[in-house]
Structure 1
């Protein structure tokens, strides 16, 4: 239903949905559109049956904003899982044309011997075509940060975030790495610049991690002035400030000072 609606550029609303029935109508039902579908479970035969179906939408297609609501991980899974089951080696570029996957492995080493016939996962960078296209119309700034993985596997997820003209945010690049260090940040930021942010005069917002500092200050990295400017994330600054100064008012003054747009405001 979601994939059908995405292809048609239409939106629907769910009226009933449980283990025995599913009933949806076009969001414009009653305003010139009569599309609906009702299905129910035939327990005797163990199948779902379409009980009523008004087949064609008679409304105008809605805006592309419906993708935000409909194209969730359930819809993506329904589209990609059959391809993976048919061929487990299928590439991301085939499943999602235009995507940029950069995969790195390391050889298996037993003692002092290296086994070149097998390898293990090391790092992975990826981004999607909508992220690349969207950033061209967003503010020339990116926020980068990392977060630990808390599931079965160790590692760190690095993410770059962009901001639109109306302050909406969107993640534009991702990387799975072994941890936050100079090498992993260099891997992430170099591919971020290569595939998404090649334009000059870019503002980079981050915490004070030494790995980020080393990458942005490297002479051959392309992040030096005037290509890029760096500023620190106020949330991280305030968190560090609060370790030594417990006064809530002092933290508020610090935040206000960092957001001041004039020298007078800053000193006040």
Structure 2
């Protein structure tokens, strides 16, 4: 019979080496359960070192790992416990430099980990270092990697309870407003469909997603045809009921009427083209090159510039004539 405490780590090792990315993701999503089965000591001595040595994987797996490891801080409270028990001199000499090194790490996983330690470092830091720590934390909130800025946003609440009242209003609330405008920017998708009833015409719609990832209609309208005039009219009605239209991100296809309407009605709002529509356009030009769409989606969903460049380089080596077309499409998405 397999020794029960050894079994979870053995399964983890097997699944993390599997070629099927879904199996690797399933294994990562069970990390918390595996850590509880191993206990605090074995998790610190065996599981975490194993994960540190086996982190060369796809972005989707690394993102899932970073999110799961965030739970380890509250579950193990390892560095937090150490920091809370250290003297101020030791904090300045050892702990705060550790947090700063993590925050400046090249890999996003290190920067994600640092976000959960800043409140410990800050509470015992001298005034000069507190200013530096607040500056570094703001930079983490503005990080180009969404998983880093999300981790910083998640820990912003406990940071707010740690900083002094004067800095809370002047700096932390400012960071919160920036995150609100950037990370949780409202997204509206607009599209049209042709009606086949007796009256004909076109149905114009704007939809959003709620907190349960369910799509709901925001507004709709009927027009005789899909043209610049009808889209400008529809977007004007939509604009008038949005409190801060300049903060909205609108997703659509490439229809000329939408582009003209956006320039006229939403000149200060972000407007991007749906990756799905762009993929359908590519399919028309690459009917005999099915692997082009494969590379397109891998590049479109890349979290790191390095992966994007690697996928595009692979595509260029296979289809050099198609590469510029795909590259231009992705820049528009």
TM-score range, shorter chain: 0.3 to 0.5
TM-score calculated relative to the size of structure 2: 0.36
Larger helix fraction of residues: 2
Query: So what's the TM-score if we normalise by structure 1?
Result: 0.44
More strand per residue: 1 or 2? Answer: 1
